[in-house]
Amino acid sequence: MAQTLAIAGHDTQRASGALEIPTLVVHGAEDQILPVENAHLIASRIPGARLETFDGVGHLFSWSARSARPS
């Protein structure tokens, strides 16, 4: 519940367009908590961002992506 409240009160959309640093957006293609389309949206709002998605990986991609390959 605390995580949900923190997310609901935190808006980064306006600030993301002002980032001037190399940015890598990483997302599991099979995420059922946050759809992969969200990663595409985030990457599109950050100038020059690179997006890497991992097939067969869900929300906890850092645990399950050890053997996955970027798509």
Question: According to the per-residue pLDDT averaged within each range, which of 5-9, 42-46, 60-64 is highest?
Answer: 42-46
Per-residue pLDDT at 45 exceeds 80: yes
Which of residues 57 and 65 earns the better pLDDT score?
A: 57
Of 69, 26, 70, give the one whose Cα is nearest residue 46: 26
Distance CA 45, CA 14 (A): 9
Range of the domain at 16: 2-67
Which of residues 12 and 33 earns the better pLDDT score?
A: 33
At 31, give phi and psi (nearest 5°). Answer: -60, 125
Q: What's residue 67's pLDDT?
A: 56
Total number of domains constituting the chain: 1
Alpha helices (H) in 1-71, listed in sequence order:
2-8, 13-16, 36-45, 61-64
